Structure 1
Amino acid sequence: MSRVLPRRLPRPSWPALTWLAVLVIALVAGLILAGTSNAGSTDVRTAASPPAISSAPLAEQLETRWSAQSAADDQRSVASGTVITANEHGVRGLDPLSGEERWHYLRPNATMCDLTVLDDVVIAIFRTTGRCNEAVALEAGSGVRRWYRNVGFSDQLSLLGSGTAALAATPGGIAVLDAVGNSIRWRYNPPQGCELASIGIGINGVVVLESCTTGTAWLAQFDLYSGDPQWRVAPPEDDVTVLGVDGVVSLLAGQQLRILSARNGSLLSTVDTAVESAESLESEESAESAATLFAETSGRGGVPLVYLAERLYGVDPVSGTLLWSVAATGLPALNDLGVVVPEGGEFVIRDASTGQELDRPIVADQGTPPGGSQDGLLRLEIAGPALIAISADGLVAYA
């Protein structure tokens, strides 16, 4: 009777074991990345090319081309001839004339902390852990990813932007990201016992209101791109909110609009407003009840604009004196002709330097918000030949 003995298997060589270990590690890493990384959990659609941006003026008669409600996307803006909408899981780029989707970047397993839309790029920061830990920059016209990086920001994050800089702000400090590359240009953290009570950003830099437990407070301006300190002054004694740093430094102090020099922080002018207080402004439902713009003009170089409590102010950039003001139901849009201001159910194009009316396009189909009373209108945006009216409830595109 024969016996079958177990056959001795050949012993693998050390090189073979090494390659096997490497393969196992790679497979495990791939599974982890597929479940948790940006690449493995992102739904991406890009446009073949950025849209052709028309410089044609607004039509003399505007008609509603399309509209969208806020049920799907609750943040809306315009850049590179594209309507940008966003919600807690991602960003979309829409055609301004048809409303059709051109691109999207969606993160179903992450939550967006905030985003900012610059001239040609969208920067969004997502949270996959307890902190806001992933930042991405997308080409506004096509959705193509410009860069991606890990960050470590607090979940109290707010994103602001100007030029090619995105500012991540928390009460404990600020960090400025480069929209072109993926670097953090500079950081600022207030001294121990102090916090940043208000922050403004614009073409002239970043201004912070620093409040300390000792009772002291300071207004300080930093260079937008280098973070170099430019000046530091004592703020007004009233409750202060920094509105913007576009041409001049605009503050709301109590019930007054105060204009400071962007060069040295000195007081240039004050304007009485209808705002009850800085605290009442911050408690309003609309986060865009106050904002600043800088309107490029021929000859003067540009005019700072301040929108505050349903009134638009044009300010002389040198003296800080008030050039003009007009009632407005939302933040205006800038185009080559001037400033498009929403006024009493109509859209009025005004000269940025004088406030003089230049044109008043007719809205053919009144009744679609905000074409009627403009209740809830936040701001206007220009996307080529289209005028985008953004409200708390959604948006309407006119052309």
Structure 2
Amino acid sequence: MLAPERRTRADIIFAVAIAVVVSMTALVVWARGDATGTESVTASTPVTAPPTAEGVPASLRELWHAEDGASKRALVSAGVVVTAQDGTVSGRDPRTGEQVWHYRRDMPLCGVESQFSMVLAVYRDERGCSQTTLLAGDSGARRTARSSYMDATVRLSVDGTYALAQGPRRLEMWRSDLVRTIEYGFVDAQVNAKTQPRKGCDLLSSASNPSRLAVLERCPDDPADRLTVLNPVPKDNTVPEEYGSHVLSGGGADSRDARVLAVSDTRILVYLPEASAQGGSETVPARLAVYDANGNPLVNHRLLAPLTATAEVTKLGSTYFLFTGETLLALNGSTFDPLWNLGEVLGTPAMMAGSLLVPVTGGIAAIDPATGTASANIPVDRAGHDGSPLALAVIGGVVLEKRGSTIHALG
């Protein structure tokens, strides 16, 4: 019969050592984990959206203002105004500016967007702008999150169905639940590297709609920029499906200032800058180039002046509005044909009670969106404004005006 096993002093010391190592490992994991550097304060009760304004106000005064340096445009979601500064995203009461909820991480924000009454917040860690969180606009509650390799900077945009995050070497599109539908460009997983149609390309710009993703890129073996049109939802998110890919030709086709501006169901709008004609004796003016849904050229619209670096396109209803840097150009939502233009404009517009609100010197103009005719001019005091482009948004009866890194609520 075997003698019963007995604990020795060495056994006890060894067991204690294992327990210490496990405890220290757990402590390190906790200290370095995402949850440790995160603070989430949700609304006590979900916020309801205010009623739609019945008319354009005759006057406006500032109700409040707040720092908003991480977002490109004035954002609203559900019943709140969304502001983002440093690592904090906040939902604010439209009339008072008080925080209804906030979400904070000890990471820098790469960008913030809103869609479907949700707020998309992208943070930067050691893998680039890889940490993405989806928050409910009415409460700030965390709905889902994703993490993947991304560039150190990304440009966020939404198209009514998908969200697009594009960096200089790589882009991804996400569904409303943050599931990735496509990756394009540089791939960190070597097993997927051969699935990409080209390597080493710089992604200059991109835009999307639910049926098309257009990417303007510059590839090592190409003499000019390349326009590639992709399926936003291929069968395999790691294998892009191309509808067409063409190297551009003509003046401005080799410029890194060229941009994809907008994508409709049947057309793609690209900005081609002013350039010298072949031989250098003449200059080809800046133009808006329209391509079909497969990237084939259709028509060019000459611009009176080049777009500035701050030019932006806003889709409101069925019409696209291009802020050139000093002019607002209305474009047909299907063909991108110019409809009308308005000069001496300071930024991007918003819709309120059927009128197009446009920031102009000294105030906000109320414009007929069909004709471009002004019906009213609402004075706005912008004392201290540095001259940077303005971006408008509307929530209920409150007009939001983003000036640089500050959001101003007017009512």
Give the secondary-structure state (helix, strand or coil) at the position aligned to 1:182.
Answer: coil
Cα distance, 1:38–1:342 mapped onto 2, change above 3 Å: same
* Structure 2 counterpart of 1:197: 204
Asked if 1:44 is matched to 2:44, the reply is: no
| Offset at residue 335 of structure 1 (A) | 3.3
Structure 2 length-normalised TM: 0.78
Equivalent of 1:233 in 211, 224, 246: 246
Asked if 1:186 is matched to 2:182, the reply is: yes
Asked if 1:273 is matched to 2:304, the reply is: yes
* Structure 2 counterpart of 1:159: 156
CA distance in 2, matches of 1:245, 1:22: 60
Cα distance, 1:162–1:20 mapped onto 2, change above 3 Å: farther
* Structure 2 counterpart of 1:16: none
Equivalent of 2:222 in 191, 199, 215: 215
Equivalent of 2:269 in 250, 261, 268: 250
Kept in 2, the 8 Å contact 1:268–1:320? The answer is: no
CA distance in 1, matches of 2:315, 2:218: 28
Kept in 1, the 8 Å contact 2:365–2:376? The answer is: yes
| Percent of matched pairs sharing the same residue | 23
| Structure 1 alignment gaps of length 5 or more | 1-7, 13-18, 283-288, 297-301
Kept in 2, the 8 Å contact 1:369–1:396? The answer is: no
RMSD over aligned Cα atoms: 3.1
Give the secondary-structure state (helix, strand or coil) at the position aligned to 1:115.
Answer: strand
Equivalenced residue count is 363
Kept in 2, the 8 Å contact 1:102–1:142? The answer is: yes
Deviations 1:4-63 (A, max 9, x none): xxxx99749xxxxxx999987875565234312222221111112033232123422222
CA distance in 1, matches of 2:26, 2:208: 41
Letter aligned with residue 130 of structure 2:
N
* Structure 1 counterpart of 2:11: none
Cα distance, 1:40–1:215 mapped onto 2, change above 3 Å: same
Asked if 1:123 is matched to 2:120, the reply is: yes
Letter aligned with residue 32 of structure 1:
V
Kept in 2, the 8 Å contact 1:261–1:320? The answer is: no
Matches within 5 A, 1:64-213: 64-69=62-67, 73-75=69-71, 77-80=74-77, 81-108=79-106, 110-178=107-175, 180-189=176-185, 191-202=198-209, 205-213=212-220
CA distance in 2, matches of 1:51, 1:95: 10
Asked if 1:366 is matched to 2:353, the reply is: no
Equivalent of 1:385 in 374, 397, 406: 397
Structure 1 length-normalised TM: 0.80
Kept in 2, the 8 Å contact 1:269–1:320? The answer is: no
Moved over 6 A (4+): 19-26
Kept in 1, the 8 Å contact 2:269–2:291? The answer is: no
Please say which of residues 31-40 and 324-333 is displaced more in the overlay: 31-40
Cα distance, 1:37–1:368 mapped onto 2, change above 3 Å: same
CA distance in 2, matches of 1:393, 1:310: 20
| Structure 2 alignment gaps of length 5 or more | 9-14, 186-196, 235-239, 275-285
* Structure 1 counterpart of 2:350: 333
Cα distance, 1:378–1:101 mapped onto 2, change above 3 Å: same
Letter aligned with residue 341 of structure 2:
S
Give the secondary-structure state (helix, strand or coil) at the position aligned to 2:366.
Answer: strand
Letter aligned with residue 67 of structure 1:
H
